[in-house]
Structure 1
Amino acid sequence: MSPKTAVAPAPVASIPSATYSIALAGNPNSGKTTLFNLLTGLNQKVGNYPGVTVDRKSGRLLLEGEASARLLDLPGTYSIYPRSNDEQVVLDVLLNRSSADYPDVVVAVADMSNLERSLLLVSQILDLGLPLVLVLNMADMAKKRGITVDTEQLSRQLGGIPVVVMNARNGQGLQELKQVLSRELQPAATPFYQVLPLAPEAIAEARQYFGCKTYYEAYLLLQHAENLHTMSPLERDQLEALGKLSKLDRPALQITETKARYARIQEVLSTVVQLPDTSSRQSVSARIDAVVTHKIGGYLLFFGVLFLMFQAIFAWATVPMDLIDSLFARLGSLLEGLLPEGVLSRLLIEGVLPGIGGIVIFVPQIALLFMLIALLEESGYMARVVFLMDKLMRKVGLNGRSVVPLISGLACAVPAIMATRGIDHWKDRLITIFVTPFMSCSARLPVYTILIALVVPDERIWGFINLQGIALMGMYLLGFVAAIGSALLMKFIIRAKKGGFLIMELPAYRWPRWGNVLYMVLEKSKVFVFEAGKIILAVSIILWVLASYGPGDRMARAEEAYRTAHADTPELEDELASLRLEHSYAGLLGKTIEPAIAPLGYDWKIGIALFTSFAAREVFVGTMATLYSVGSAADDESTIKSRLQAETNPDTGGPRFTLAVAFSLLVFYAFAMQCTSTVAVVYRETGGWKWPLIQTAYMTGLAYVSALLVYQLLS
């Protein structure tokens, strides 16, 4: 076989320029993402890798002087033998020199307290012939455990590559890393492991034919020919022919290589790492884990943590929420007196202001929820929850890796569904996608809290257990039970095979870093205000127009008939406002769907809110705020909550939002698929409309039947 190209010389990373590219690689839980955030700050973008639906995070890194570089955060992986789409991306990027993502330098992030686990990936990247910088992260944890590393000796053992000790959580070692990345870097002087003897003829031929920089690159091409997205059919055929000629046993070669690398890693570590004779820190961690992951006590502890979380959400957020609610009520009254009469004034006071109020009022609860979740993640407890729930997940047909998307679904279903890409088997992934929207995301929180506040007394048991907090936790548990039950049903419908196992390493316990917690709270709150807020505000303005105008002179005729019928009685402005709303475009829409929702205890106004909230669940509150603001008196300073409480049912003369109606609505919103973004991401992840349509029909049908049963039972 004649060579395709000449063998390329070993690369040298030049001094950083505008096109200089650096890739971050490392194991999960090595602190790679923390380092990426530290290096890029807010100057980062998220997209997808070309041709695959895997998150691609990149940003600009400022180096010494005025130099800068593009930083790419590769998905976490334990080796260059991929088991999921995320890990496949790492292989594709590092083996495709024509890709825009191909790095000039790779920064390998390793957990300093567990180098044995990290060095397998490091040694593989080193043998690809790329300039490499090794970052020994989590230096604080290593110090606490009494672990010391001879970095100079380690650098020599790894072919002279730079080794930087860091603690990305507090910025220790950051300037040293930037100094290293600001100069010209060489690949390792010698390979870590000589791969050529594994299959001399095939590897040598592949290197010559494909112009590989190293023998290891050629070896990986032979190993992964069928799975490389960047290979043409002709190139795959060539590699297959080479493999057949040499009778390559790929799995056996992988085992041989991995064993040999670990043997060499043990030799290196024996000369560079000094371990303490005993580790009281580890024994303390083990004792904590014995409780946290206990098959009974672990679940009770997790239940207790959830209980405290939801108690805190109601107890701590009540004061700022009441202040915001009162502020917007007073602001509306103030603007009523200051602005001249006109359409724009009414739009601002009755449409825009209530819409904004429906967004801002829930920021304290959203921020508090994400702060508590961030604390659990930063401390290392959330990883134990994932480990604890793995056994339960597999019993109902979910993959062990399904735990991560389901937990993520407490924040938002969209990134949670995207996180299913790490699940190997398609049927397991499909079930996870199907049931994830049942997890109560932050969009449901505004609906839950306003309805619970209407009908559940703000009382405490034993002085500290808030009844409203118990009700809120019940809604989250209801979503989880629905997800588990639906997964079990799907398991039999699509006949999924036994799910895979979750493989993960539990991170060390540590005090949360408040900078990371604050960053997460700000980011998530910003997403709610500006992303969900745009939808809420747009719907509020459209709804005001629909609620303020009607077809032809329908509203005028209804108002004239009312005045004629009540000529001898004082005019009731609230009754007139309700009459106008009933004969508006919005009222006609509500009246049209009222027969279908009346068995659930809902009237046409609630029907309008149900209809608009199919754009996004949190629109419900903004819709109700707008509907009950249209036609308000100038001196009306009532809040959203008080207006809903004052609404009466004309058939009974009692309150509209009774216990039966409120809990019927809570159950409906817990189950219904009311999120266009979720439908869109399910369409993208499943490659068609079949599953999003089935999912929407199933969830909406379950919501309707469940809400009907709740209303009929509680009435």
Structure 2
Amino acid sequence: MSTKPDPALTLPVVDQAALPCVALLGNPNAGKTSLFNRLTGLRAHTANFPGTTVEHRRARIELGGAPATLIDLPGVYSLEPSSPDEAVAVAVLRGEEARVPRPDALVVVVDSTNLERNLPLVSQALELGLPTIVALNLTDLADRLGVRIDLRKLSQELGCTLVAVSARTGSGIPELQSAITALLAERPVPVSAPHSCACTTCGGCGYTARFHWAEGVTRASVVETSPRAAAMTDALDTLFTHPVIGLGAFALVMTGFFVLVFWVAQFPMAWMDAAFAWAGGWTQQVMPPGVMQSFVADGVIGGVGGMLIFLPQICLLFFALALLEDSGYLSRASLVMDKLMRRVGLPGKAFVPMLSAHACAIPAIMASRVIEDRRDRLVTIMVLPLLTCSARVPVYALMVGLLFPGSPLTQAAVFAGCYALGAAAAFGMAWVFRKTILKGQPRPLVIELPNYRRPSLRDALLVTMDRAWAFIRNAGTTILLICLVMWALATFPRTPESELPSEVQAQVAQLRQQGDDPAAQALIGQAQLERSFAGAIGRFVQPVFDPLGFDWRMSIGVVSSFAAREAIVSSLSVLYGMGDDGADDQPSLLAKMRAARGPGGGPAFNVPTCLSLLVFYVLAMQCLPTQAVTWRETGTWTWPALQLAYMSVLAYVAAWGTHAAASALLGA
């Protein structure tokens, strides 16, 4: 074992380098990560292997009362690497990965419903010479499918310890923990079965020997199968992978998914909105008027609160997606979408990066490394940022909340339309690139279809909590910093009331004579805001965005969001929330924006403007970190510059057309 400590695993009291290390290895869809979650719970953290973009998870666990490190290696099909994930996994298992100790024991996770397909990887793992346990996972699903495995016979064939488990139900987990503890104590060398070929002149017969061995072991160990279960799977696949019915099913599933997200999320969002409004009002009551009161109420509470009220929707979004993926349905959806993707010039292997782009474009661009052909990979990288990432969700939620309050069904339809527009734009631009600067034919998709299974609520909750914490961490760092900068720009320089224009002073005096002091204070606040640094910047850039229906506050929000898309929500919360300190009751953040008035006295967020802003954020780049990753993956600034240029033009033209069309239809 390496004696070099891993700084990512710094733990109290125990020397991390001295801890025994156990690695989990397995095919994708074998339930390896679910088993890792079952063994570790919330103690895990995610990081990249040093010098790579390949992610892994690790945690400290207790085995027999002693601590150990558990590493979840990337899902692989072979230890003869043909992808970055496989290369990293092999390097770790051979002790060649920097700052990662070679495992003291190996747990190979096998899908008990697809034994023959998983065993070739087991044969390669046994040849490493590491103490090895085979964890036969998904046993509950195998029972339902009528698959009966002779565990004793299978263990004899493999020559190593075998434990039947179910990561979903927790069955067999104590036995697996005991087996790992015993393995670390004894450290036996596994008996290598006769599944490899000694021939040095033939590169293909080794593969053939492994699969023949796996086929023989499966025949000897599987004692009963149910053709009825297989027939049901085939019948469902006939529907879900049909070129027409499958697309309809996908559209129906996603529509229901968005309706559920909006209907459930509206209640906690309303509570959080009211809570932040109360916190802002309470701050104004207990703190004396002045800069510090505005800093806390408008800068911190108003900015961060305007972001966090969308946390319920983001949690529900990832929870539902995790359930769909765990059920096996998303693999069928990818097969259906592949046929459409290849028609517009996208490679089949682009579906996995495109799916992950709905969380964030940065790991999606990194994941495009699985695409071997350079032209296919460039097309994929160029269109990935058009797909809706989680950073856009708060912007969508804000606009549809302003447009259709109290109508979850309509909100869900518009929300789904935003996702559809992003996907359509990605497909359209892929077709354009294939017809112009990146000509060529994409390769078809070869994908494994896992068995249908009951999704794990526990795993879905763990995924949701991980994503939620990442969102909160972002709101507490980058977004908070942007909020405070925006508050400072909107606060300084402070123009005394006596130096405001004479017409404003006259209106203030008239309101005070009428006894409407809150309205007078609001008028003073708005006049001071327009004369701040933010007002000057907003008026400078506003002519550019005026054709889109944006006033100066929206314009400066757009500019501020180039660092992070979701920053516009907090920026607008700060800008539209300032200037109403004289109100007796602090309105909610959404109520402030609904009440905001534009230059002509009408609602600032009318229907054409909201639709224009939605379309703009569906299509605009607005993410500098994504540009940096595009540069790193392509090795030149040419592609990120082209990416920024075409997305900005596309967003501007589409938003202008949307605003013009909506204004004409509504007479606005």
Task: Give me the TM-score of the superposition, normalised by structure 2.
Answer: 0.90
Q: Which residue of the partner structure matches residue 195 of structure 1?
A: 197
Q: Which residue of the partner structure matches residue 611 of structure 1?
A: 559
1:17 CA displacement = 8.4
Structure 2 SS opposite 1:106: strand
Question: Is 2:133 the partner of 1:184?
Answer: no
The answer on whether the counterparts of 1:333 and 1:634 sit within 8 Å (CA) in structure 2 is no
- Larger mean CA deviation between 320-329 and 482-491 belongs to 320-329
Q: Which residue of the partner structure matches residue 38 of structure 1?
A: 38
Question: Is 2:85 the partner of 1:86?
Answer: yes
1:96 CA displacement = 4.8
Q: Which residue of the partner structure matches residue 55 of structure 2?
A: 55
Q: Work out which of the residue numbers 478, 486, 500 in structure 1 matches 2:421.
A: 478
After superposition, give the CA deviation of every residue in 1:81-106 in whole Å (9 maximum; x if it has no partner): 33322122233333455864432222
The answer on whether the counterparts of 2:129 and 2:189 sit within 8 Å (CA) in structure 1 is yes
Q: Work out which of the residue numbers 205, 221, 227 in structure 2 matches 1:256.
A: 205
* Counterpart residue identity of residue 119, structure 1: L
- Larger mean CA deviation between 449-458 and 662-671 belongs to 449-458
Measured at CA, do residues 265 and 466 of structure 1 come closer, stay the same or move farther in structure 2, by a change above 3 Å? closer
Q: Which residue of the partner structure matches residue 505 of structure 1?
A: 448
Question: Equivalents in 2 of 1:510, 1:98: separation in Å?
Answer: 35
1:501 CA displacement = 3.0
Measured at CA, do residues 18 and 416 of structure 1 come closer, stay the same or move farther in structure 2, by a change above 3 Å? same
Question: Is 2:622 the partner of 1:665?
Answer: no
Question: Equivalents in 2 of 1:194, 1:537: separation in Å?
Answer: 58
1:468 CA displacement = 2.3
Say what the alpha-carbon RMSD is for the aligned residues: 2.3
Q: Which residue of the partner structure matches residue 165 of structure 2?
A: 166
Measured at CA, do residues 421 and 61 of structure 1 come closer, stay the same or move farther in structure 2, by a change above 3 Å? farther
Q: Which residue of the partner structure matches residue 713 of structure 1?
A: 661
Structure 2 SS opposite 1:702: helix
After superposition, give the CA deviation of every residue in 1:663-713 in whole Å (9 maximum; x if it has no partner): 111111111111233223323333343322221222112111111121222
Identity, % of aligned pairs?
39
Structure 1 SS opposite 2:391: coil
- Give the unaligned 5+ runs of structure 2: 1-15, 513-519, 664-668
1:165 CA displacement = 1.0
* Counterpart residue identity of residue 272, structure 1: S
After superposition, give the CA deviation of every residue in 1:433-466 in whole Å (9 maximum; x if it has no partner): 221111112221221122223234655xxxxx82
Question: Equivalents in 2 of 1:608, 1:58: separation in Å?
Answer: 42
Q: Which residue of the partner structure matches residue 22 of structure 2?
A: 22
Structure 2 SS opposite 1:79: coil
* Counterpart residue identity of residue 35, structure 1: L
Question: Equivalents in 2 of 1:391, 1:647: separation in Å?
Answer: 47
Measured at CA, do residues 135 and 496 of structure 1 come closer, stay the same or move farther in structure 2, by a change above 3 Å? farther
The answer on whether the counterparts of 2:197 and 2:209 sit within 8 Å (CA) in structure 1 is no
Measured at CA, do residues 125 and 542 of structure 1 come closer, stay the same or move farther in structure 2, by a change above 3 Å? same
Q: Which entry has the higher C-alpha Rg, 1 or 2?
A: 1
Measured at CA, do residues 324 and 194 of structure 1 come closer, stay the same or move farther in structure 2, by a change above 3 Å? closer
1:348 CA displacement = 0.7
1:403 CA displacement = 0.9
The answer on whether the counterparts of 1:83 and 1:424 sit within 8 Å (CA) in structure 2 is no
1:63 CA displacement = 1.0
Question: Equivalents in 1 of 2:393, 2:256: separation in Å?
Answer: 16
Correspondence 1:421-500 to 2 at 5 A:
421-456=369-404, 458=406, 466-500=409-443
Question: Is 2:595 the partner of 1:646?
Answer: yes
Structure 2 SS opposite 1:58: strand
Question: Equivalents in 2 of 1:289, 1:38: separation in Å?
Answer: 30
Measured at CA, do residues 82 and 491 of structure 1 come closer, stay the same or move farther in structure 2, by a change above 3 Å? farther
Question: Equivalents in 2 of 1:547, 1:658: separation in Å?
Answer: 23
- The count of aligned residue pairs is 636
Question: Is 2:318 the partner of 1:319?
Answer: no
After superposition, give the CA deviation of every residue in 1:330-355 in whole Å (9 maximum; x if it has no partner): 33222222222332222111211111
Measured at CA, do residues 379 and 190 of structure 1 come closer, stay the same or move farther in structure 2, by a change above 3 Å? closer
The answer on whether the counterparts of 2:361 and 2:389 sit within 8 Å (CA) in structure 1 is yes
Measured at CA, do residues 73 and 712 of structure 1 come closer, stay the same or move farther in structure 2, by a change above 3 Å? same
1:109 CA displacement = 0.9
Task: Give me the TM-score of the superposition, normalised by structure 1.
Answer: 0.84
1:558 CA displacement = 4.5
Structure 2 SS opposite 1:498: coil
Q: Which residue of the partner structure matches residue 244 of structure 2?
A: 296
Correspondence 1:690-705 to 2 at 5 A:
690-705=638-653
Question: Equivalents in 1 of 2:102, 2:505: separation in Å?
Answer: 79
The answer on whether the counterparts of 1:558 and 1:583 sit within 8 Å (CA) in structure 2 is no
The answer on whether the counterparts of 2:197 and 2:205 sit within 8 Å (CA) in structure 1 is no
1:167 CA displacement = 0.8
Question: Equivalents in 2 of 1:484, 1:448: separation in Å?
Answer: 21
Structure 2 SS opposite 1:136: strand
Correspondence 1:545-560 to 2 at 5 A:
545-550=488-493, 558-559=499-500
* Counterpart residue identity of residue 597, structure 2: T
